[in-house]
Amino acid sequence: MDTHEKNKNKSELDRRELLSHLSKTGAGALAVVLVGGGVISMLRSASASTSASTGKRKFRYGMVIDTRRCVGCEACVVACKAENKTPPGVFNNIVLKEPDKKSSVEKPLFMSRPCFHCENPPCVPACPKDATYKRESDGIVVVDYDRCVGYQDCIDACPYGARTFDEGKDYPAVTEKTPYAQVPSPEYNQFRLREGDTKTEEKVRKCTFCLHLQDQEGRYDKKAGRWPACAKTCTGHAIHFGDFNDPDSDVSKLLKERKSIRLKENLGTQPNVYYLV
Amino acid sequence: MYIFDEKIGRRKFIRDVAAASAVTAVGLGTNSLAKTEKSPEKSKGKKKKAIPQELAVNAAGKKHWGREAGEWIPTCCNMCGGQSGVLVHVVDGVVEKIEPNHWNPNNYSNISTDFFDGYTEAYGCKEGGAICPKGNAGIMQLYDPDRIKKPLKRTNPDKSPGADPKWKEISWDEALDEIAQKMRTLRDAGEAQKLLWMSEDHSFTHVQGDFCTLYGTPNYVMHSNICDVARKASFKAVMGDDRPLADFLQSNYILLFGWNPSSAIKWVHLPRILTRGIEKGAKLVVVDPYLSDTAAKAHEWVSIRPATDGALALAMGHVIVHDKLYNKEFVKNWTVGFKEYSEFVKDKTPAWAEKITSVPAKTIERLAKEVAKAKAACIDVWSGPGQHSNGVQGGRAIAMLGALVGGYDRPGTLVSPDKKGNKHGHCDPTEDAAKTKKLPTFDEAKKYPLGHSSGVYTQMFENLAEDKGPYKPKMMMCVFQNPMMSIPGPATVAKAISKLETFVVIDTMLSETAKLADYVLPGTTYLERYDLNTHWVTWGCMALRQPVVKPLFGQLAEYEVVAALGRRLKLKDHEGKEFFKVGPLSGKPIEDLKGWYEDFLSNEVKKGAPGMTLAELKALPGAVWVDKKGTRYEKYKNVLAEDKLKTAWFDGDPKTEGTGIYDKPKDKGGKRIGIVVGGKPVQGFATSSGKVELYAKWMIDKKDAQGRPVNPLPEYTPRDWMPSADYPFYHINWKEASHTHTRTQNNPWLLDLKSENPLIMHPLAAKRLNVRTGDVVWLESPYGKVKGKVKVSKRIHPEVVGLQHGFGHTALGKKAAGVGTSDASLRPTKSDALSGQALHKEACVRIVKA
C-alpha cells in the first residue's frame, strides 16, 4: 500500500469515526427537536437580540439555515474546500445526514453545519496558547496559525465538532505538483501555500465565514461574489448569511418571521447559526 | 456544559451528552481525531485571557490571487450532462475557483417568470444561481495527476481485460496519421459502414455526426440509450414530447416514480424548484424501492417492488376513472382512446396492484384521489422504473395519469420545452459516402419500434461479440465513454472490442475501456474546450462553453481531433468542398483547427435562434443567450399561423374534429403540423393522432425487437427477469449528488463526500442472512459475482438490495481503482425491446457471506 493509499484510508477512517461519533452523540435528540413540535417550545426561543457584549460590535455575522430547503447534496462542503483549499481530513463544514429517530424508515434529516461562531465559544478558553479568539469587530471566531501549535484542546471543547486538525496531508493535485499546487488558500487573507513555513500542518482549522472576502470595513457583498462560499453555491438556497446587527438583513428578518432553533441551547454557547424548522 | 475542573484549574467544557438534559442535548459531537500530543500548559494553572489581535495579512498574496485578480470567465459545467452555467476564476493560467453563473437559467429555475423576477443584467437572477458538489469539484477533474497526457499506442496484441497493454507513447502526428490510415483503408475498400463511432450525447456531437456522414458510416451512436430513452419513449408515445419538464414550482402535487431530482441533480435548478414548490404548499410523494434523498424531502415515501410502478399507475387510473375524478374537459377535447383505456383499467383494482407492487390498496386509492383533486399535478417518471424490460409500458401508464388529472403544458404540470438554440448546419455527403451511409445500422436500431436516434449500445456490442448483425465492423472510435463500466455485461463488451481490428479511445482518464484500446488519445476536460449548450428549461436558452485554460498537455480538443482526421482523409461534401478545412460561416479555408471549429460554432449560433456570432455570444452576460419570450403554456391550443395554413394539406374535412393537418400531402412525405379541434386548426400534441394518446392505435401492427406484438394499451407485464428461489433478491442501483456515472470516482473532493458504495440491505433481509453493517458479501447472479460491503438500513424495500452506481473501478486512476462495487457484470448485455434502453436495474441476486 503506498502512502497515498494509506492516507486515503486513514482520512476515510477519520471521517467515519467522526460520523459515527455524531450519530452517537445526539443526532437522535436533534431529530426529536426537529420533528416533535412540542419539544421545540421547551427550548429557549431563538432570538436575534444582542447581548451586552455584542452591542459594541460593528457586525454580528451569522447564518440562518433552512432545514426544509437543505437537500443534503453537500455542494457547500465542496465549495468550502474549493474556496479555502482545505486539505484532506479538514472540513470547515459538513452536512449532517442523521436518520430521524422518529421515522420508522430511517428517513435522514439534512443540516449543513458550519462553525457557529458562538457568542460564548467554549473553544476559545480551551486554547492554552490563546491562538483562537472571537474577533471584536464582527464576532467571527478565528485561529491564529502563528500561535496555534496543534494541541487540539479546542477541538475537544467544541460541542459541535466544527474544528478539524490539519495533519499535513495533501490532495494529489498538490502532492504531484500540478499547476494547482501553486494556488494558495485565501484564509484570513494570508494566502498560504501547502509548502514550507506557510503550510498549516498540525494547526487546527475551522470555518471563517470566508472573512477574507470582507472589504476593508469588514463588509460582505453578495452581488460582488464576496459572500461565504457555502451560501453562494447552495442548491436548495438553504444557507442565509448576514449581519444580525442589521435589522434589515435577510437573516434578521428570517429570525423574526420564522420558527428557529439553535443547537444545544442548554450549553449556553449562544451560536450565531440558527436553523429554520 | 461547563464545570469547574479543579485538577486543571479552569472551566472545562464537558461534551458528554448524558451529563446534559436528555431533551436538549442536541449533540453534534466532536471530532475524535487522535491527538499528536497533550497540551503541557494544562497543568500550569489558570491562564489569562489573551487580548485578541489582528491576524497578519499577506497583501501581495491577495493582490495576486484574490477575487479581484485574474479573470472570471463565464462558461458551462460538464461534470455531468446537466451543463449548468459556471464562472471560472483563472489566475496566471490556473483555475483557482469555480462558482455559479447567475445569468444562466439552468442554475436557477426552469420557469421563465421565476427566472426573470428580479433579474438584472448586472447580477443575473435575483437570488443568484447555484452549482452542485460535482460542479464545485471540477478543478480536481482538471488537475487530476492521473490524466492521460500523451497519445498511447498498444504494443501487446493480447487485448483481454487485465492484460498489460504495453503502451508506447507516440506523437500526435503519428497517432492521427495511423488512425486516419486505418480509416482510409476501410473507406477505400467501400466499407465505410464498418467504422462504428460512439460518443457522449451532448458534447461536440454535431461535428462527430458530420464526420460520420461525410465518411459514410451510418453508425454514429450516443449515450442516451444507456440513460433515459425509456422515459423518452413513454412520454413521446403518450403526449408527443420526448422530454417534458416538471414545473415543480407552480405545482400543488408532485408525484415522482423512481426519480431523485434533488440528489441525482443534473440540472442544478432542481433542488431549488422542488423545495420551493413544497414551500409554496405542494405535496411531494416519491414512489421508489429506495428512500432516496429526494424521498427524504417528501411528505410520503411509497416503498414499491422494482419495476411494478406501471401496475400502481394503472390502479390509480382505475380509481380515477371509476370515481369519475378525471379532468373531463381535457379528456374530452385533448385525448384519444379514453374508452379503450377505461375498459382496460376496469379490472386493475388497487387490490390487484397491491399484490404486484406491495403497496397497500388503501394507499393506492388515497394517492389516486389526492392527485386527482390537486389543481396542478406534476406526475413524472425517470430511470428508476425506466431501466427495466417493462419500463416503457410502465412509463406510459404513468404518463397517462398526467393526462387524466389535468393534462400537460399547464403551469404546475409537465411542460413541453421550447427547445431553441444553435442549429446544426446541413451537411450532404458525396455519392460514395451516401451509399454506405444508407446501409442499415449495425445496432439494428430499427428493430425497436419506440427506439431513439442515439441507437442501441447493447445490441451493437452483442452483435459484435457474437458475430451477428448486418456486417462485420472493423474499427471503433469511442469518445468520452466507458462502456466497460456503463453497459450491462462488461464481458460482452470486452469480447466485442476484441473482434475489432482497431479500437480508438479518446478520454481524459485511462478507463477500463481505454485499457482495451489500440490507440488512446488524451481528451480534454470541459474547462479546456468549446461547446454550445441548449439548456433543459422550458423556454429558449443557450449558453457557451469555452476553454478557460489551454489544454494542459498541449493536446487537441476532441473536435480538433475530428477535424484533423477529416483533413487527413480529405473528406468532402457533395459540392466537393473540404468540409473540415473551410469555415462553414466564413466560407474560407481556416488553417488553425481551433479557428475552424470556432467558425463552425459561429455558424450554428448565427443560423440558430440567437442569430449572432460566437464572439457576440461570448460577450453576453454569463455568455448565455436567453429568449426574452419566456415560457409558453398550452402550446397545443395555438392556432396555426396563416402562412402555414395556406400551404397545408388536410387528411379530411377541415371542419371535422380530429382531422390531421400536414405541411404537404401525406403521400409526399408530409409532416403533421396540427389537428382540427373545436373547428379550429391548432398545433395539438406531436403524437400520431395529434392528441394525448390513452390508446395508441398505431402500435397495433408493431412488433418489439424480440418479435412480440406491442400492446397499444399500457399493460403491466412482469419484467423479464424476476426473483427465484436461487436468486431471491431484486438488485438495483441509483445515482446521488456525489458522483457522475463512472467518471468522477478519482476526484478526491467527491470521494470525500462518498468514498465507496455500500450495498444497502433491509434489516429483515440482513437478519435472515445473518449479516451486519460492514460485512463483506458476494452478490451472485447467473451472469457473474461481485463483492459488496453491507449497510443495513430501513431505507430500502425488504425484497431489494441496491447501491449507488459508478464505483468498482479497476482502472481510471489511483484513487478510483479497487474502491467500491460495480454491479454491471451481474447483468446480461440487454435492452428493453421497445426503446433500446439498456437494462441497468434488472437483476436478481443471491447473497453469500464472503
Query: Beta strand B377-381 with B10-13: parallel, antiparallel or unpaired?
Result: unpaired
List strand residue ranges (DSSP E) for A22-171, in order: 61-66, 94-99, 108-113, 132-134, 141-143, 163-165
Q: What is the pLDDT of residue A130?
A: 94
| Total Cβ atoms within 10 A of residue B476 | 26
In whole angstroms, what is the distance from residue B148 CA to residue A192 CA? 30
Indicate if the alpha-carbon torsion angle B430, B436, B438, B441 is positive or negative: negative
**Residue spans of alpha helices (H) in B101-171:** 112-116, 133-136, 138-142
For residue B539, give the H/E element and its range.
Answer: none
Q: What is the pLDDT of residue A137?
A: 94
Q: What is the pLDDT of residue B255?
A: 98
Full-model pTM:
0.92
- pLDDT tens per residue across span A27-86: 333 433 333 332 232 233 334 444 444 557 899 999 999 999 999 999 999 999 999 999
Q: Which amino acid is at B253?
A: Y
- Per the structure, the count of domains in chain A is 1
Give the ipTM. Answer: 0.94
User: Does residue B173 contact residue B465 with C-beta atoms inside 8 Å?
Assistant: no
In three-state secondary structure terms, B693 is strand
Q: Which amino acid is at A147?
A: R
Q: What is the pLDDT of residue A17?
A: 39
Average pLDDT (B810-823) is 97
In whole angstroms, what is the distance from residue B279 CA to residue B672 CA? 41
Asked whether residue B486 carries a pLDDT value surpassing 70, the answer given is yes
The verdict on A182 touching B (C-beta cutoff 8 Å) is yes
The verdict on B137 touching A (C-beta cutoff 8 Å) is yes
Q: What are the phi and psi torsion angles at B364 (to 5°)?
A: -60, -45
- pLDDT tens per residue across span A233-274: 999 999 999 999 999 999 999 999 999 999 999 999 999 999
CA atoms within 13 A of residue B643's CA, in its CB half-sphere: 0
- Test B21 with A266 for CB contact under 8 angstroms: yes
- pLDDT tens per residue across span B344-365: 999 999 999 999 999 999 999 9
Domain that includes residue A212, residue range: 3-276
Q: What is the pLDDT of residue A100?
A: 86
pLDDT mean across residues, chain A? 85
Length of chain B in residues, anyone? 850
In whole angstroms, what is the distance from residue B567 CA to residue B561 CA? 10
Q: Which amino acid is at B1?
A: M
In whole angstroms, what is the distance from residue B427 CA to residue B425 CA? 6
The verdict on B265 touching A (C-beta cutoff 8 Å) is yes
| Total Cβ atoms within 10 A of residue A156 | 20
Asked whether residue A6 carries a pLDDT value surpassing 90, the answer given is no
Average pLDDT (B774-791) is 98
CA distances from B446 to A215, B438, B464, B703, B834 (A): 63, 13, 17, 11, 10
The verdict on A43 touching B (C-beta cutoff 8 Å) is yes
Q: What is the pLDDT of residue A101?
A: 84
Tell me yes or no: is domain B729-849 CATH 2.40.40.20.
yes
- pLDDT tens per residue across span A170-207: 999 999 999 999 999 999 999 999 999 999 999 999 99
User: Does residue B194 contact residue B188 with C-beta atoms inside 8 Å?
Assistant: no
Distance from CA of B771 to the nearest CA of A (A): 19
Which of the residues B28, B68, B302 would you substitute to probe the A interface, choosing the one with the greatest number of A C-beta atoms within 10 Å? B28
A-contacting residues of B 291-350, CB under 8 Å? 291, 293-297, 301, 303
Smallest CA-to-CA distance from B475 within B106, B212, B170, B795 is with B212
Query: What residues of A are in contact with residue B749 (Cβ under 8 Å)?
Result: 78, 81-82, 171
Structure letter (DSSP) for residue B486: H
Separation of first and last alpha carbons in chain A: 46
What CATH homologous superfamily does B244-411 map to? Answer: Dimethylsulfoxide Reductase, domain 2 (3.40.228.10)
Q: What is the pLDDT of residue B39?
A: 59
In whole angstroms, what is the distance from residue B116 CA to residue B100 CA? 17
Higher pLDDT, B31 or B556: B556
Smallest CA-to-CA distance from B825 within B411, B512, B566 is with B512
CA distances from B229 to B218, B236, B454, B531 (A): 20, 10, 9, 23
The verdict on A130 touching B (C-beta cutoff 8 Å) is yes
Residue with cell 477505400: B188
Q: Which amino acid is at A211?
A: L
Residue B275 CB partners (closer than 8 Å, separation 6+): A68, A69, A71, A236, A237, A238, B262, B297
In whole angstroms, what is the distance from residue B829 CA to residue A199 CA? 51
Asked whether residue A25 carries a pLDDT value surpassing 90, the answer given is no
Residue with cell 470547515: A92
C-alpha cell of residue A6: 494509506
In three-state secondary structure terms, A187 is helix
Fold match flag (B244-411 vs B729-849)? no
pLDDT mean across residues, chain B? 93
| Total Cβ atoms within 10 A of residue B648 | 17
CATH of the domain at A127: 3.30.70.20
- pLDDT tens per residue across span B787-807: 999 999 999 999 999 999 999
Smallest CA-to-CA distance from A31 within B294, B25, B763 is with B25
Q: B51: pLDDT confidence band, cut at 50, 70 and 90?
A: low
Asked whether residue B268 carries a pLDDT value surpassing 70, the answer given is yes
Query: What residues of A are in contact with residue B1 (Cβ under 8 Å)?
Result: 266-268
Q: What are the phi and psi torsion angles at B656 (to 5°)?
A: -80, 135
The verdict on A115 touching B (C-beta cutoff 8 Å) is no
Average pLDDT (B617-623) is 98
Residue with cell 486505418: B182
Q: What are the phi and psi torsion angles at A159 (to 5°)?
A: -75, -5
Q: A7: pLDDT confidence band, cut at 50, 70 and 90?
A: very low
In whole angstroms, what is the distance from residue A200 CA to residue A149 CA? 10
- Test A71 with B815 for CB contact under 8 angstroms: no
Asked whether residue B685 carries a pLDDT value surpassing 90, the answer given is yes
Q: Which amino acid is at B841?
A: K
CA distances from B428 to A140, B17, B455, B500 (A): 65, 74, 21, 28
Which chain A residue has its CA at the smallest distance from B61's CA? A191
Structure letter (DSSP) for residue B504: E
CA distances from B548 to A152, B146, B149 (A): 41, 21, 18
The verdict on B555 touching A (C-beta cutoff 8 Å) is no
In three-state secondary structure terms, B287 is strand
- From the list B20, B41, B794, the residue facing A106 with the nearest CB is B794
In whole angstroms, what is the distance from residue B607 CA to residue B604 CA? 5
Query: Beta strand A163-165 with B729-734: parallel, antiparallel or unpaired?
Result: unpaired
Question: What is the rounded (10 degree) CA torsion for B682, B688, B691, B693?
Answer: 180
Q: What is the pLDDT of residue A55?
A: 55
Which of the residues B23, B43, B47, B55 would you substitute to probe the A interface, choosing the one with the greatest number of A C-beta atoms within 10 Å? B55
Could you tell me the residue ranges of all domains in chain B? 2-33, 244-411, 635-699, 729-849
